[in-house]
Structure 1
Amino acid sequence: MTQTMPRDVAAYLAEFDDIPGTRVYTARRARQGYHLNQFAMSLMKEDNRARFLADQRAYLDEWQLSDEIKDAVIARDYNLLLDLGGNIYFLAKLFSTDKLSFQDAVSTMTGMTKDEYFAMMVGGGRSPHGNRSIKGGY
């Protein structure tokens, strides 16, 4: 039996908002985060990383970014950056600039220490209990 995509794709994708901690990178998020992701990709170049680290606000001011995005970058609030359209693979350039591993950065997004995050992942990942549905309570 072949399953077809529902006609209302926006409604279908909105269902994922009911899963705690889940952010689906949709076309809307891609459009919203275009300049943020372009900034992050600029950090692939050593010269840009050096300029950014020397004066983060000045470097961010060169990009078409809202103050909310600039503040989130400076605070390294990765969850907010994802909400604002950041793509985790592009944001990896930001935490790599800070010499953080993927594990270091992602652990900050969970509220866990790096060691707690590592143990959780080695133990099979986060428990589905309480992480399946906001409205359903499970």
Structure 2
Amino acid sequence: MPTVSDVASYLAELDDIPGTRVFTAARAREGYHLNQFAMSLMTPENRARFKADERAYLDAWPISEAQKQAVLDRDYNRLIDLGGNIYFLAKVIACDGLSFLQGVSTMTGMSVDDYQAMMLAGGRSPDGARSLKDMN
């Protein structure tokens, strides 16, 4: 049976993958209300309320100021760092009238066309730094 130290060491390794944010139990706990907010956008009434006054709608949720600001900025990488799950955050993307492809391409710094071409070609190359330690 793994020890607490073994589990902590394993989870620390997940944060060592360059450019990757693993949705861990800790992120799930931190983002619970953020993800509930995103899921609330499944109804037309809530989408209309959100679009009418985004800040007021966010203030009704028990989420951190950093999470609220990341939503307002549509900073999806930051939202994932703060516990957001991309499948729930897709509701925010859709609320803006964007496709999932358009929304996630903003997370890469690539154009939609370049991102789509990369993904159709099999995704990012596995070559390069495999650890943040290798990048220093």
TM-score tier by shorter-chain length is over 0.9
Aligned to 2:98: 100
Q: CA deviation at 1:51?
A: 0.3
Query: Which structure 1 residue ranges, 5 or more long, are not aligned?
Result: none
Letter in 1 for 2:102: D
Contact 1:20 1:133 in 2 (8 A): yes
Letter in 1 for 2:103: A
When normalised by structure 2's length, the TM-score is: 0.92
Quick one: distance in 2 between partners of 1:131 and 1:83? 21
Q: CA deviation at 1:130?
A: 2.7
Aligned to 2:66: 68
Matched residues, number? 134
Over aligned residue pairs, what C-alpha RMSD do you find? 1.5
Q: Does 1:30 align with 2:16?
A: no
Q: Secondary structure at the match of 1:23?
A: coil
Letter in 1 for 2:85: N
Quick one: distance in 1 between partners of 2:87 and 2:28? 12
Quick one: distance in 2 between partners of 1:93 and 1:27? 21
Letter in 2 for 1:63: W
Q: CA deviation at 1:75?
A: 0.6
Quick one: distance in 2 between partners of 1:14 and 1:101? 33
Quick one: distance in 1 between partners of 2:56 and 2:84? 20
Letter in 2 for 1:127: S
Q: Does 1:12 align with 2:10?
A: yes
Quick one: distance in 2 between partners of 1:136 and 1:130? 9
**Between the two proteins, what is the percent identity of the paired residues?**
69
> Hey, which bits of structure 1, 4+ residues long, moved more than 4 A?
none
Quick one: distance in 1 between partners of 2:17 and 2:52? 39
Q: Does 1:39 align with 2:42?
A: no
When normalised by structure 1's length, the TM-score is: 0.91
Contact 1:18 1:134 in 2 (8 A): yes
